[in-house]
Amino acid sequence: MGLMDITFLGTGTSTGIPYIGCNCAVCTSANSKDKRLRSSIYIQHNDQSILIDITPDFRQQALTNNIRSISGILLTHPHIDHIGGLDDIRPFNLLQNGPINLYLNVYTQAVLQKIFFYIFEENKYPGIAEINLNIIDIHPFNIGSVNITPILVWHNKAPVFGFRIADFTYITDASKIDDQEKEKIKGSKVLVLNALRQTPHLSHFSLQEAIDLAEELTVEQVYLTHISHQMGYHNTINQRLPKHIQLAYDGLKITVD
């Protein structure tokens, strides 16, 4: 199937790091790895360029990482830190001379139609973002030659989609994964998993919960994302973690074969 190149565009929780108005040690850290935009990744695989989530920071992320094409956008769920950059696909409409394909469930579609109502109006204002909606469920689907398997996880009581592409799995905003969905993850070479902070949280895995799940699934390499300033310094936490489980950081690039 060829190599898969993955760029972490953002690895922060909904507020990002630094947190506005916060003077804690992490928010004032001079280490660039302690600065985190909202969580999203960019995948290049089999001549396809796939974005998972489009954050309020997407314009900055696209410019920083020189993103020039998007074959499709996978949306995990409709919280604003995962969909808030949708309007910034307009340059890609021009670059690619057409609408951008979005892949999302009906729950996310309903929220999009409320928040970005102007995109769906019959008589659109000129220059509005152009999208094609592709409604997905738990069944696998394709973007070009890339096969994608949705993984249903729970963000407290809200359904969220993770995605497996070949031997790579991406899961954000989860606090529980049912056993049958865990089976979809097993055998992955690389797993990206949310870990909000060291202490428990209602709707996100804590650091220890993420470590325990990673060990249960026996994945070769695990990167943790959707991190808050309450986690602690990037370098300090990574030194405590097993070599095969590490905090991701903005701009990290990995290749999965």
Question: Per residue in 196-213, pLDDT tens?
Answer: 999 999 999 999 999 999
Percent of the chain residues past pLDDT 70, beyond the cut: 100
Closest listed residue to residue 124, CA positions, set 84, 87, 97: 87
Average predicted confidence (pLDDT) for the chain: 97
Closest listed residue to residue 70, CA positions, set 131, 111, 116, 29: 131
Q: pLDDT, tens digit, for every residue of 124-140?
A: 888 999 999 999 999 99
Q: Which residues contact 202 (CB under 8 A, 6 or more apart)?
A: 156, 175
Q: Is 121 exposed, middle or buried (0-12, 13-18, 19+ CB in 10 A)?
A: exposed
Binned at pLDDT 50, 70 and 90, residue 1 comes out as low
CB 45 within 8 A of CB 76: no
CB 188 within 8 A of CB 167: yes
Domain ranges in the chain are: 4-250
Q: Is 81 exposed, middle or buried (0-12, 13-18, 19+ CB in 10 A)?
A: buried
**Mean pLDDT value across residues 206-231:** 97
* Strand order across the beta sheet in which 221-225 lies: 141-143, 146-155, 158-165, 168-171, 190-194, 221-225, 245-247
Q: Which residues contact 117 (CB under 8 A, 6 or more apart)?
A: none
Instruction: Please name the CATH architecture into which domain 4-250 falls.
Output: 4-Layer Sandwich (3.60)
The DSSP letter of residue 17 is B
Is pTM beyond 0.85? Reply is yes
Q: Which residues contact 191 (CB under 8 A, 6 or more apart)?
A: 168, 169, 171, 185, 214, 217, 219, 221, 222, 223
Tokens of 98: 């057409």
Alpha-carbon gap, residue 189 to 173, rounded angstroms: 21
State the alpha helices, DSSP H only, in the chain.
Answer: 58-64, 80-83, 90-96, 106-115, 179-185, 207-217, 234-240
Q: Assess whether pLDDT exceeds 90 at residue 2.
A: no
**Mean pLDDT value across residues 145-171:** 97
Closest listed residue to residue 193, CA positions, set 80, 2, 212, 231: 212
Q: Assess whether pLDDT exceeds 80 at residue 33.
A: yes
Q: pLDDT, tens digit, for every residue of 62-98?
A: 999 999 999 999 999 999 999 999 999 999 999 999 9
Alpha-carbon gap, residue 224 to 164, rounded angstroms: 16
Alpha-carbon gap, residue 80 to 53, rounded angstroms: 10
